[in-house]
């Protein structure tokens, strides 16, 4: 094999690799644009559905100066929060809100 043939094979190999990389970039951009136009359902994917307007967070009210929360209630609240965190951790923007209601008579 002569030096000219070796350089030709090297140049052709580099050209094939370069063209393959450019084709990969083109396909990735094409699929990105296509996924942005498709509505993926409730969770959403890409930028198909516009994001809802941000809701201002309410100012938390001061806890009434009364008796402390029982340990059983705190255990239930922490268990529910742990389950919610494990189930819905992958949903962006999800939030758990706990409101303390007035004591029942």
Render pLDDT for 43-90 as a digit per residue (tens, 0 to 9). 555 555 556 667 776 655 555 667 788 889 889 888 888 887 777 766
Q: What percent of the chain stands above pLDDT 90?
A: 27
Contact (Cβ atoms closer than 8 angstroms) between residue 37 and residue 27: no
Computed on alpha carbons and rounded to an integer, the radius of gyration of the chain in Å comes to 29
Contact (Cβ atoms closer than 8 angstroms) between residue 22 and residue 30: no
Select the more confidently predicted residue: 51 or 6. Answer: 6
Hey, is 77 helix, strand or coil?
A: helix
Select the more confidently predicted residue: 63 or 14. Answer: 14
Residue whose C-alpha is closest to residue 102's, from 56, 64, 75: 64
Residue whose C-alpha is closest to residue 98's, from 83, 80, 71: 80
The mean pLDDT value of the chain amounts to 78
pLDDT at 35 (0 to 100)? 83
Rounded to an integer, what distance in angstroms lies between the CA atom of residue 2 and that of residue 8?
10
pLDDT at 55 (0 to 100)? 72
């Amino acid at each position: 094999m002569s030096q000219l043939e070796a350089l030709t094979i090297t140049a052709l190999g580099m050209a094939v690799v370069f063209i393959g990389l450019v084709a990969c970039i083109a396909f990735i951009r094409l699929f990105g644009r296509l996924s942005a136009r498709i509505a993926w359902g409730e969770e959403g994917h890409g930028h198909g559905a516009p994001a809802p307007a941000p809701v201002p967070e309410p100012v938390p009210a001061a806890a009434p100066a009364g008796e402390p929360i029982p340990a059983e209630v705190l255990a239930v609240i922490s268990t529910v929060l742990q389950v919610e965190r494990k189930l819905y951790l992958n949903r962006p923007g999800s939030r758990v809100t706990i409101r303390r209601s007035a004591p029942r008579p």
